[in-house]
Amino acid sequence: MADSAVIQQGSPAIGAAGSVPAAPGAGGTEGSGAAGGSARIAVKKAQLRSSPRPKKLEKLGVYSSCKAEGACKCNGWKSQNPPPTPPRTDQQSNTVNLQEPCRSCSHTLGDHVTHLENVSEEEMNRLLGIVLDVEYLYTCVHKEEDADTKQVYFSLFKLLRKSILQMGKPMLEAQESPPFEKPSIEQGVNNFVQYKFSHLPSKERQTIVELAKMFLNQINYWQLETPSQRRLRVPNDDAAGYKANYTRWLCYCNVPQFCDSLPRYETTQIFGRTLLRSVFTVMRKQLLEQARQEKDKLPPEKRTLILTHFPKFLSMLEEEVYSHSSPIWSQDFLAGASGGQIPIHTVIAAPPVARPLYYSTSPVSVDTSNCGSVSPARKAASVLESNPVEKRKASEPLSHEENKRPRVVGDIPMELINEVMSTITDPAAIPETNLLSAHSARDEAARIEERRGVIEFHVIGNSLNQKPNKRILMWLVGLQNVFSHQLPRMPKEYITRLVFDPKHKTLSLIKDGRVIGGICFRMFPSQGFTEIVFCAVTSNEQVKGYGTHLMNHLKEYHIKHEILNFLTYADEYAIGYFKKQGFSKDIKVSKAKYVGYIKDYEGATLMGCELNPSIPYTEFSVIIKKQKEIIKKLIERKQAQIRKVYPGLSCFKEGVRQIPIECIPGIRETGWKPVGKGKEMKDPDQLYSTLKTILQHVKSHQNAWPFMEPVKKTEAPGYYQEIRFPMDLKTMSERLKSRYYTTRKLFMADMQRIFTNCREYNLPESEYYKCANLLEKFFYTKIKEAGLIEK
């Protein structure tokens, strides 16, 4: 699976070298067999999460301190009859007795889990995931022989253990948070491609981009050597510096691939030239050696690319990596002669980060608005900073290989989509939108100005422990003036206090070097939301789309920081603006999470907004515009096909009273299909009840475990490049709860999609493929029993 996954990411595979993540404790330079270990952990988590609630309580009780009266110091329930090692499935009992005493403190299991009585299933499943990660790290600690690695595993083990006891989210406590060096490896390789190959024709340049993607992919899945191994190989190297980077890599990149309760980052996005220098020579040698050994196994179309072009690419990159005067590692790379910033065209992106709570589209080529990037995680201390806001990367177009895959019934042919897209992407074929037109997006003018460098967006904040930056302080004063002028009801002293408060940040809108607007906010990462305090644009710059574009940049910034909820108190004049930005009075954040954290205002309305991490907000209106054009072209093509005029029906003159619809000439050419046989329930409540029962039966089936939740990118690399319309039982449950399934056909189509996707991605002899077949047979049995289709 690993080799094909590399190709699907847009990066030609070189055998298996460095392409599979190594399991913690595996040792060595390459991660052999790691994918299987990760899959086994995922299977265990799925099975545990589908267990009855008493079984879950028993599992969590082992890691929960005793709550009995008398200040019991027992930190975990221990069974009187511990299971054998390894546990035998035939001897496991499904019955759990909450009155069973603890072998350590003699208090019951119930005394250890009283704090879990009112906990939701979702929260309990999250804690169970941490439990399995704790058990896995415990095994790693005992198997690992390297002292440095063992110490890191043990620290992470204690961190997760503490998270279970406190029912909190694991937060790594470190002096520094990602990114650890700027520019990152990914940005440096982007700069290298721009610096050396921007003059090439489009086709040749695309070849270089493919090589760069492949190189980044290899680094992201490369297994670093331990500090002790490196000391033996390079005695005179900076041992302390390498050990620090190795520890960070374990905590933020390697271990989270298997313990998904920890936040994970890509190596290429949080490390810079220092780490690249320490691995480049060894990595280059091993990759090229692997390519020579496996040249006969490479596909013909990849052989020239890997054996001829890749070595030259690595040699040129090596010069820039070790050169002390290379411009690609400068923060000011591509800066204009006047000192102002011009947009960087990001041509490469590493494979997507697998986030623990949600799934996003694969990042690819986009045009970013400014130099620099916003880090994936906030620094622990408030700093005086200016982060140029970088747009997230949008979805990658399907490659030629992906277009050859079997179609799913109901999809529009990819050949037709590509043909239409070729006209849409041609600038001459796209009608120019007048900015004054009613069809123009609110933020279109602002987006054009940003692209031209007329306006800039920066996240800035004050600091009490760093030397003041004069430019940032001037911007903060400008923001204080804008907010005071545009929000006359707010006391100026209050505005000044919050704008200059180190705990607050402000997304500032800069035009001609001066502040013309901004959004002041405070992030509460532990509570999962951000409070928007002030939002204003100076009066003579309003009605230009700046407010919408400001909010879209703020949404992008928070998605990068994995905060997906906004809260704000809006006065009567601001409610309309916030509604247009996706806010509503229906607050998705539970009251317990924000009460006592946010400021309360009299006469204002509390509004909230939930972000979707799959949406590139700053380009959303452009995407919608292109989608409208595609649909318009498809409709035009369809109309051209059915414009044939058929003669009228003469059968009625001969006494025929009625004929089947399908007998009407030309009716099938319009796309009409006969209605499938089966009972369609008219009562929505009856339909909901029937579908809920069927879905519960399916989820309880012994072969449903692979389909319980969305596929994780860490477990199946390249899955979301190959499967265009993913579906799972958790998503179906959410859709059913929201009354999405208004007909049986919608429900059956989603269920069928699960089975089709599984068979399309997996081999026929795989366990997943067999589970799909068995579960599909069971599903249709239940559908027939419910009378939704004829038996």
Q: Which residues are annotated as a binding site for acetyl-CoA?
A: 535-537, 542-548, 573-576
Residue 296 backbone class (left: φ over 0; alpha: ψ -120 to 50; beta: rest): alpha
Which helix (H) or strand (E) element contains residue 775? helix 767-785
Going along 6-133, which residue ranges are E strands?
Answer: none
CA distance 759 to 78: 43
CA distance 405 to 722: 8
Q: What is the DSSP string of 86-114?
A: SPPGGG--S---TTPBPTTT--BHHHHSG
CB 169 within 8 A of CB 139: no
CA angle 518, 523, 525 (to 5 degrees): 155
565 strand-pairing partners: 610
Q: How far is CA 147 from the centre of its chain?
A: 34
Contacts of residue 585, Cβ cutoff 8 Å, sequence gap at least 6 = 605, 606, 607, 608
Q: Report CA Rg, the chain.
A: 29
- Sign of the Cα pseudo-torsion (308, 314, 315, 317, in order): positive
Q: What is the pairing mode between strands 345-346 and 505-511?
A: unpaired
Structure tokens at 334: 């591509």
523 strand-pairing partners: 530
CA distance 240 to 246: 10
CA distance 25 to 140: 5
CB 714 within 8 A of CB 260: yes
Helix, strand, coil in percent for the chain, rounding step 5: 50, 5, 45
- Tally the C-alpha atoms within 13 A of residue 783's C-alpha that lie toward its C-beta: 20
- Sign of the Cα pseudo-torsion (227, 229, 231, 234, in order): negative
Amino acid residing at 642: I
CA distance 764 to 773: 10
Structure tokens at 34: 């790691």
CA distance 118 to 657: 65
CA distance 356 to 261: 6
Q: CB neighbours (10 Å) of residue 208?
A: 20
Three-state DSSP state, 505: strand
Contacts of residue 262, Cβ cutoff 8 Å, sequence gap at least 6 = 133, 156, 160, 170, 172, 251, 255, 256, 356
Q: Which residues are catalytic?
A: 531
Query: For residue 214, which of 183, 184, 196, 193 has the smallest C-alpha distance?
Result: 193
Binding residues: 535-537, 542-548, 573-576
CA distance 397 to 402: 10
CA distance 351 to 325: 29
> Is the preceding omega at residue 376 within 30 degrees of 0, hence cis?
no
CB 174 within 8 A of CB 265: no
Three-state DSSP state, 531: strand
CA distance 686 to 108: 43
CA distance 785 to 791: 8
CA distance 772 to 764: 10
**Distance between terminal CA atoms of the chain?**
39
For 24, 148, 152, 226, the CA distances from 145, given in Å and listed in that order, are 12, 9, 12, 11
Going along 417-525, which residue ranges are E strands?
Answer: 455-461, 505-511, 514-524
